[in-house]
Amino acid sequence: MCSAKVFIADLSEPKESVPGSTYICTDVTQWNDLTKLFKTVIDSEGRLDVLFANAGVNVRENTFSDIYGEDGELAEPKYKCIDVNLVAEMNCVKLAIHYMKKQAEGGNIVITASKAAYSPMSGPTYAASKAGSIGMMRALRKFLTPLNIQLNAIAPGFTETGMLPAASVASLRELGVVIQTAATCSQAVAFLVTHRDYHTRTIQIVENRFREIESGYEAAAELMYGDTSAGRRTMGPEAFEIIRQTFVTTV
């Protein structure tokens, strides 16, 4: 049986001790905190095998409502959901790639998206942040494959966490809504980090049931895009090179 040394990065220390783990106080929205976190891991263990980027918030920001400042002018919206759920996540993934690509064995990255990334029913900024996670994952696919780095996502539905008030959980359960636990979601994470043949896949977790849904999206792409997809295939290498130089970044 294999064991793992786990580093927990959060603003708050775990309420209960986790055997084999080290807690590091980290504000994921601060780049300096993140660089110190990853350096601490590398200095301690000499390598980084797995990143689970799970930090997230669901703030009712009323982004598209008319909110006015003290001067009577329309106030600039706040985007904490974007800052935590997407920007911080991208920074974590960037740092993980930085270290993992130096390892012959590569590494494994799992990000937390949401069912809202595929079928949004919550706030628009939350849905946008989670859809952005999936977009990042798809775009990184071909860059990470030769580096032997796997990147996958989980997309939970209603889950009993600190983001869902206890009163809401109780009320929903009384109405027959299945609210899964974080432990259920962790099973999907464990599956992804132990199956190296999975890459840029999403496991949706809804009502304690697991389903891989990203491959279904890919299978439906031809139907969705129609002639556009066929047109891309007929473009010659010169056209692709222009597109690559104009739009494509590298890792």
Query: Looking at the DSSP assignment, which residues form a beta bridge with residue 22?
Result: 7
Domain annotation covers residue 226: no
Tokens of 151: 């990147």
What does the alpha-carbon distance between residue 174 and residue 182 come to, in Å, rounded to a whole number? 20
Domain annotation covers residue 228: no
- Chain centre distance of CA 32: 20
Predicted pLDDT of residue 232: 59
Domain annotation covers residue 244: no
Average pLDDT over residues 135-151: 96
Predicted pLDDT of residue 99: 98
Predicted pLDDT of residue 106: 97
Angle at 206 between CA 222 and CA 185, to 5 degrees: 105
pLDDT band at 184 (very low <50, low <70, confident <90, very high): very high
CA distances from residue 163 to 5, 27, 31, 126, 149 in whole angstroms, order as listed: 27, 17, 24, 12, 30
44-58 per-position pLDDT tens digit: 999 999 999 999 998
Domain annotation covers residue 118: yes
Higher-confidence position of 132 and 226: 132
What does the alpha-carbon distance between residue 55 and residue 34 come to, in Å, rounded to a whole number? 12
Domain annotation covers residue 1: no
CA distances from residue 207 to 21, 80, 115, 173, 176 in whole angstroms, order as listed: 29, 28, 12, 12, 11
pLDDT band at 241 (very low <50, low <70, confident <90, very high): confident
Q: What percent of the chain has pLDDT over 90?
A: 71
- Domain containing residue 26: CATH number: 3.40.50.720
**DSSP label at residue 96:** H
Predicted pLDDT of residue 225: 75
Domain annotation covers residue 239: no
Predicted pLDDT of residue 33: 98
Residue 158: which domain range?
A: 6-212
The full 3-state SS of 172-186, as one line of letters, equals: HHHCCCCCEEHHHHH
188-210 per-position pLDDT tens digit: 999 999 999 999 999 999 999 99
What does the alpha-carbon distance between residue 88 and residue 53 come to, in Å, rounded to a whole number? 9
Residue 128 has pLDDT above 50, yes or no: yes
Domain annotation covers residue 20: yes
Q: Which of 69-83, 85-99, 110-124, 229-243 has the lowest mean pLDDT?
A: 229-243
The model carries a pTM of 0.89
Tokens of 156: 């939970």
Predicted pLDDT of residue 229: 53
Q: Are 141 and 199 in contact (CB under 8 A)?
A: yes
Residues carrying an active site annotation:
126, 130
| Total domains, the chain | 1
What does the alpha-carbon distance between residue 192 and residue 176 come to, in Å, rounded to a whole number? 30
Q: What percent of the chain has pLDDT over 70?
A: 93
pLDDT band at 71 (very low <50, low <70, confident <90, very high): very high
Predicted pLDDT of residue 228: 57
Domain annotation covers residue 69: yes
Residue 227 has pLDDT above 70, yes or no: no
Residue 1 has pLDDT above 50, yes or no: no
pLDDT band at 234 (very low <50, low <70, confident <90, very high): low
Predicted pLDDT of residue 98: 98
HSE-CB at 162 with a 13 A cutoff on CA atoms is: 7
Give the residue among 130, 108, 103, 126 at the shortest CA–CA distance from 118: 130
